[in-house]
Amino acid sequence: MQQDESRTRAGTVELTTPAKRSSSGFTRALIQIIVLGALVLLGWKLADVLLLLFGAIIVAVALRSLAAPLEKHLRLSPRLAVAAAVIAALVSIVVGSWLVGDRLIEQTEDLRRRIPEALSALTTWARSHPLGVALMDVWQSASASDVPWARVANAAAQTLGAIGSIGLLLVIGVYLAANPQMYRKGLVRLAPADYRPRIDEALLASGHALSRWMLGQGISMLFVGSATAIGLAMLGMPLAGTIGMIAGVLAFIPFFGPIASGLLAVLLAFMEGPTQALYVAGLCVLIQQIEGNLLMPFVQRWAVELPPVLGITAAVIFGLLFGLPGVILATPLMVVVMVLVQKLYVEGVLEDTPDAIKS
């Protein structure tokens, strides 16, 4: 009788234990979903702060890239190497401003004065062609409709106001570059112990990928700016240096940046006539073709390869979510997202054994 009771109890334990485990697993999964939802909501509310921090991370990665050779060859400590990199960057800015600052300011002011004249020349040319007249009618009807231009102007004012955050971004970036291990380890310790090694590996890989992408993007921006300035000068365009500098800076934003700089160059070319504008448009297209089909494939052999569709999609998505700062930071954000998905999901969940990220 006692043996039967003991067997019954054992059977009951065997039957109830899986049920308890299933209930415990469901509770744990529910808690994880709630925590994840709370983190997403918090991230949405603090989007501006997170973008500021990501911009600081980009500054930190750039400073670490400059400091690494100093740290290696001069055997400096990480903090001294970062300090030397900051001083070198400041000296370069001061020397560059001293050499071309006055000329650049004059050309920028001249550019501001010429834009209304260029718009007037474009309008005059458009009114002399049937297609231009049709486009002017569409533009006037859109301007007369209920398009929220006030909201657009307000967004532009907020964007200009956000420029004041650049100083804070640079300061945070310097602190991050001085001791990145401390901040990375502190972030990793927030995760469960079993996940810490993989998360740490993913963070290191994303930092390395971001550094390589910035180097490749810097080469691309230098080429676009220099080629635009030289090409416009050969065509006899005024303000070639200023337009080239704007083109190089806007090349940081894929697809939309080159379009914006090309439209600016073509607009100013209309002051010289429609034929000159056609030549400038052809020059801009040629530069973008060389950059996209010849230079970038060569650079991406050792830098991070970001498919063009992902770059454009990232600019649209992050632009809709975060406005102009999202568009500016869309490509580096997508680079980091690609690496994190590769390390944490593809290798950590879909594959049994982790593989190195293919460069």
Q: What angle do CA 236, 240, 243 make, to 5 degrees?
A: 140
pLDDT value, residue 358: 44
Residue 35 CA to residue 236 CA, distance in Å, equals 61
**CA gap 278, 162 in Å, rounded:** 36
Cα angle 272, 278, 282 (rounded to 5 degrees) comes to: 130
Rounded distance between C-alpha atoms, residue 308 and residue 345, angstroms = 22
pLDDT value of position 142: 45
Domain boundaries, the chain: 46-350
pLDDT string in tens for the chain (359-residue length)? 445 545 444 444 444 455 555 566 667 667 767 877 776 677 677 777 888 888 888 888 888 888 888 887 878 887 888 888 888 888 887 887 777 666 767 767 777 777 777 777 667 766 666 655 555 554 555 444 444 444 544 544 555 555 567 777 888 888 888 888 888 888 888 888 888 888 899 889 888 888 888 888 888 899 999 999 999 999 888 888 888 888 998 888 877 888 888 888 888 888 777 888 889 999 999 998 888 788 877 776 666 667 777 778 888 888 887 777 788 888 888 888 888 888 888 877 776 554 444 44
Give the pLDDT score at 227.
Answer: 92
Cα(91)–Cα(222) distance, integer angstroms: 20
The secondary structure of the chain, three-state, reads CHHHHHHHHHHHHHHHHHHHHHHHHHHHHHHHHHHHHHHHHHHHHCHHHHHHHHHHHHHHHHHHHHHHHHHHHCCCCHHHHHHHHHHHHHHHHHHHHHHHHHHHHHHHHHHHHHHHHHHHHHHHHHHCCHHHHHHHHHHHHHHHCCCCHHHHHHHHHHHHHHHHHHHHHHHHHHHHHHCHHHHHHHHHCCCCHHHHHHHHHHHHHHHHHHHHHHHHHHHHHHHHHHHHHHHHHHCCCCCHHHHHHHHHHHCCCCCHHHHHHHHHHHHHHCCCCHHHHHHHHHHHHHHHHHHHHHHHHHHCCCCCCCCHHHHHHHHHHHHHHHCHHHHHCHHHHHHHHHHHHHHHHHHHHHCCCCCCCCC
pLDDT of 349 reads 72
What is the predicted pLDDT for the residue at 134? 56
